[in-house]
Structure 1
Amino acid sequence: MASSKKDQIAQGALTAFAQYGFSETSMDTIAEVSQVAKGTLYYHFSTKEELFLYVIEKGVKMLIYHVDSVMQKEDLSLEDRMMSVLDEHLRFFSENQELCFLLLSFFTGDEQRDQLVGSLLTGYFTTMETYMTDLQQKGYIRADVEIRTLASALFGMIGFTVLRKQFRKEPLNTDAVRETLRTMLAGILDKRC
């Protein structure tokens, strides 16, 4: 099934923003990378800013969907769910490296735009914090762990691992990477559970 022109443009914009940054990416560049006529681009998106926010929002919603689907697997033990959340982040960022780069470097220099992007990421962090708070209340995450910091650290730990591997052209989703991240995550788990 062929993707829509809007999806084609969004993918091209993601590639352009990740490669050139927001400021250096023009609508002409996006049209070229997306392989669409400028008229088609402007039919779907009036401005570069509108397109940028669409790309970020779509990506964050996709991340939330994938992570939430793992968190809802009640047939898994709490430990297996927590480790599956880590695995899903690693898989998602590995398969969406341009989005990962964009999310970890979204500051564009425009305060209003940066606040909008930050508010889009709030949905992700709210989802993660709710899930982790529930695990903490059930005694699975150590009581002395501050949940907001944990959610941020998980996002950054996996995201920056993927970025570094990408820049060094190293394999991303390997057993060694996964086990190292799992070992780090295991440090916050309450061993009594």
Structure 2
Amino acid sequence: MARSKKDLIAQGALTAFAQYGYSDTTMDTIAEVAQVAKGTLYYHFSTKEELFLFVIEKGVKMLIDSVNSAMQDSNLSADERMVCVLDEHLRFFSEHQELCLLLLSFFTGDEQRDQAISTLLAGYFSTMEKYLAELKGQGHLKPDADVRTLASAMFGMTGFTVLRKQFRKEPVDTEETRQTLRSLLHGVLGRKEW
């Protein structure tokens, strides 16, 4: 299926923002990276900020959809689902490294824009926190586990692991990486073996 012009522009913008940062990315740069005419770009997005927020919103929605599918897999035990949620974070960030960079370095210096991005990410965090609170309520997490901290930690530990490996030009989604992250999660689940 052919990608729409809007999708091509969004992908080009994601690449440009990840490569140059928000401040140094221009609409001309985005049009060039997306390989679309400036008129086409402005037809779909009137400002760089509108496009930036569209890219972030689309990315956060993809992340939420991705982890939701793992959370709702009724064929797995609660502990297995939690491990799958972690694995899904690693897979997602590995496959969407430019988005990972953007989500983990979203502060642009503009308070209003940063607040809008924070609001978009709040959807992800509320999804994760609700799920983790349910697990904790069912006794699948240690009683002293703070669900807000755990949600932040899962996002951060997988995201920053991917970024560091990306910058070092190392393989990202490896079994060694997955097992190390699972070991960290193991401490909050209190499970004896994987």
For the aligned pair, the TM-score class normalised by the smaller chain equals: over 0.9
User: 1:99-114 maps to which residues of 2 (within 5 A)?
Assistant: 99-114=99-114
Aligned residue in 2 for 1:89 = 89
Contact 1:9 1:41 in 2 (8 A): yes
Per-residue deviation, 1:75:
1.2
Aligned residue in 2 for 1:180 = 180
Per-residue deviation, 1:98:
0.1
Contact 1:100 1:163 in 2 (8 A): yes
Q: Does 1:133 align with 2:100?
A: no
1:3-29 superposed Cα distances (whole Å, 9 cap, x missing partner): 000000000000000000000000000
CA RMSD in angstroms, aligned pairs only: 0.8
Aligned residue in 1 for 2:46 = 46
- SS of the aligned residue for 2:73 comes to coil
User: 1:1-193 maps to which residues of 2 (within 5 A)?
Assistant: 1-191=1-191
- SS of the aligned residue for 1:141 comes to coil
Per-residue deviation, 1:191:
4.4
TM-score normalised by length of structure 1: 0.98
Contact 1:67 1:88 in 2 (8 A): yes
Structure 1 gaps of 5+ residues are: none
| Moved >2 Å (runs of 4+) | none
Per-residue deviation, 1:79:
1.1
Per-residue deviation, 1:190:
3.7
Per-residue deviation, 1:146:
0.8
Identity %: 71
Contact 1:139 1:190 in 2 (8 A): no
